[in-house]
Amino acid sequence: MGFRDLFNERREQVRGIRPDLRIELGIGDSAEFPANRDYAYCAWDGEKARIVFAPKIRQADRSRQDALIRHELAHALLTSADLPHSERECDAVAEAIFGDLIYYDDDDVQTLVGGSRPRPPYLPNPSE
């Protein structure tokens, strides 16, 4: 299964909870993701969420792709419901919805296997 199919499958799971929520998938320009660990962000315009991934997501392993997708979908759910939240809270929601724990690997990127949790305290905590 490719990245886009994986995203669509996870988005369908979110639709089971919030059928009304519109979520678009985008692949951004690599210049938008300057840091090694920058892979994605979620933007909310008041009507729909747009989750944008770095082009390098296509080369990421499945576990990293899936954890990032889950994390960004949790942002979409929370932000669209006007619920301010921390990055750790976002991971907690993703864990509750999808049923697996979210870890952080040696690159400080989300993953579903190995690594550490919760999110390391030295990482930035914007709603991204």
Of 5-13, 59-67, 79-87, 105-113, the window that binds Zn ion (rule: CB under 5 A) is 79-87
114: exposed, middle or buried (C-beta count within 10 Å: 0-12, 13-18, 19+)?
exposed
Shortest gap between Cβ of 61 and Zn ion (angstroms)? 19
Return the closest-CA partner of residue 126 out of 55, 26, 42: 42
Question: CA 31, CA 43: separation in Å to the nearest integer?
Answer: 17
Q: Is 44 helix (H, G, I), strand (E, B) or coil?
A: strand
Q: Which is nearer to Zn ion, 4 or 37 (CB)?
A: 37
Of 4-12, 17-25, 54-62, 82-90, the window that binds Zn ion (rule: CB under 5 A) is 82-90
Shortest gap between Cβ of 41 and Zn ion (angstroms)? 7
Q: Which is nearer to Zn ion, 3 or 70 (CB)?
A: 70
Of 13-21, 26-34, 85-93, 115-123, the window that binds Zn ion (rule: CB under 5 A) is 85-93
Q: Which is nearer to Zn ion, 19 or 35 (CB)?
A: 35
Q: Which is nearer to Zn ion, 3 or 41 (CB)?
A: 41
Return the closest-CA partner of residue 67 out of 123, 26, 108, 36: 108
CB 34 within 8 A of CB 62: no
Q: Which spans of this chain sit near Zn ion (rule: CB under 5 A)?
A: 87, 128
